Amino acid sequence: MTFDYDLFVIGGGSGGVRAGRVAAQTGAKVALAEEFRMGGTCVIRGCVPKKLMVFASHFAHANDDASAYGWDISVGDFSWSAFTTKLHAELDRLEGVYGRILANNDVETFHQRATVKDPHTVVLADGQEFSAKHILVATGGHPVVPDIPGKELAITSNDIFWLPELPKSILIVGGGYIASEFAGILNGLGVAVTQVYRGEQILRGFDDEAREIIAAGMRERGVDLHVCQNVKELRKMDDGIEAVLEDGTATTYGQVMYATGRRPNTGGMGLEAAGVQLDHGGAVVVDKYSQTAVPSIFAIGDVTNRVNLTPVAIREGMAFVDTVFNGTPTPVDHALIPSAVFTQPEFGTVGLTEAEAAAQEPIEVYSTSFKPMNHAFAGREDRVLMKLVVSKANRTVLGAHIVADGAGEMIQMVGIAVKMGATKEDFDRTVAVHPTMAEELVTMKAPVRST
């Protein structure tokens, strides 16, 4: 049987674009459909604009620090419109880069929605149908707002980059990556930020000691963080949006942003009718090769709700191409993925939390928390955390957790050592780089706890 394409990719985000390009480089005939903008969540309304906003928001503190270091600094106002004009020009540029990557590798692109008709047929919004030997679903996810009265008044992270002006005040609901990152960003940009989280501590799932230090650092920098609290209702007022909390208190904010999780984009895709299995949350169920219940259909990235991070989607895309087009069945390695949360203070983490490791085996915990030299000199209260969780049995470093300026950069390097199976003694054999914060990772002599 002949097909129009060897591969039809649905979704032009990080995973889909990488898989499409690399598959085409093997000589496969590839098409890709994207209904919105090439680049997907990460480039257009996620990691990239978020990180640029993190950079923008750092200047408020940088200016304070500069005065403490003797600079005669006077700071003007932050211009949201000057920033967003540049931001959107940069996103347009990146979108163009993604489009050109595909064109230069002879991937045919369709700027419209595509759905699956059967195991080998894709239908475009304009009615065109194409047959494909393989279909790759890489459609990502979307933010969800819980069903409360007034939910339509809330914005999500999709909207934040498109606000015509920054509000004077904002309520951020949620305690995950997105809520906590934007609390820091908007606080840094001069917005009065209140964050409300339903649990006892933000960033559930991460190391408890790190969570404590991050929450303390956020409060220290001015975020009004409330835990064990949730929003019951939102109401439109003349001067903003009133949020009524479960304890009955009501406050009016310029904006309310929900960051209460994301769901896979599988609705109306025709996947189940074609035989693809979805889980209870709507994610595509795949095996270790990203293959669905339909042998010709594969899925990668957030739509599979495995580890929802761009570099993971890219890895999954590369492994898919190796498996299907290079004749090398390649399972995706999801173990020991280092990651960063761009809260302020910043967080880098790899491996097991202290609680996870202690539940698994006897451990030693090496941990130090201190005011780093640059913050102490500038009179800032922020503390840094350097923490290693070590197996008692074989001395392997099971987890590393860093809260510090540049923690995202540090954890990339520590992640290599941890992925290689480094022991605490391997860390100790490494000479310290002085004076740095990270030198603590190789100079912690005695465990602070042991189980």
Residues labelled catalytic? 434
Confirm or reject binding of residue 150 to ligand NDP (CB under 6 A): no
Query: Is residue 166 within 8 Å of residue 66, measured between CB atoms?
Result: no
- Give the type of residue at 131: S
Nearer Cβ to ligand NDP (146/406): 146
Instruction: Label residue 180 exposed, middle or buried (CB < 10 Å: 0-12, 13-18, 19+).
Output: buried
Residue 190 gets which letter from DSSP? T
Q: Compute the least distance from the CB of residue 355 to ligand NDP, in Å.
A: 15
In the three-class reduction of DSSP (H, G, I as helix; E, B as strand; rest coil), residue 446 is classed as coil
Confirm or reject binding of residue 199 to ligand NDP (CB under 6 A): yes
Residue 120 to residue 275: CA distance in whole angstroms: 12
Residues near 271 by beta carbon (within 8 Å), at least 6 away in sequence: 116, 137, 278, 284, 292, 297
Which residue among 116, 153, 179, 297 contacts ligand NDP (CB under 6 A)? 179
In the three-class reduction of DSSP (H, G, I as helix; E, B as strand; rest coil), residue 192 is classed as strand
Q: Measuring CA to CA, which residue among 308, 290, 74 is closest to residue 178?
A: 308
Question: Which pair of tokens denotes residue 403?
Answer: 């809260």
Nearer Cβ to ligand NDP (33/186): 186
Confirm or reject binding of residue 51 to ligand NDP (CB under 6 A): no
Confirm or reject binding of residue 259 to ligand NDP (CB under 6 A): yes
Nearer Cβ to ligand NDP (152/238): 152
Which residue among 178, 286, 332, 404 contacts ligand NDP (CB under 6 A)? 178
Residue 20 to residue 28: CA distance in whole angstroms: 9
Confirm or reject binding of residue 342 to ligand NDP (CB under 6 A): yes
Residues 290-319 that bind ligand NDP (CB under 6 A): 308-309
Which residue among 339, 344, 353, 391 contacts ligand NDP (CB under 6 A)? 339
Question: Which pair of tokens denotes residue 15?
Answer: 């995973």
Confirm or reject binding of residue 401 to ligand NDP (CB under 6 A): no
Which residue among 175, 301, 372, 415 contacts ligand NDP (CB under 6 A)? 175
Which residue among 21, 45, 221, 262 contacts ligand NDP (CB under 6 A)? 262
Query: Is residue 208 within 8 Å of residue 369, measured between CB atoms?
Result: no
Confirm or reject binding of residue 234 to ligand NDP (CB under 6 A): no
The CA angle 18-24-30, to the nearest 5 degrees, is 95
Chain positions contacting ligand NDP, by CB under 6 A: 146, 173-179, 181, 197-199, 204, 230, 259-262, 308-309, 339-342
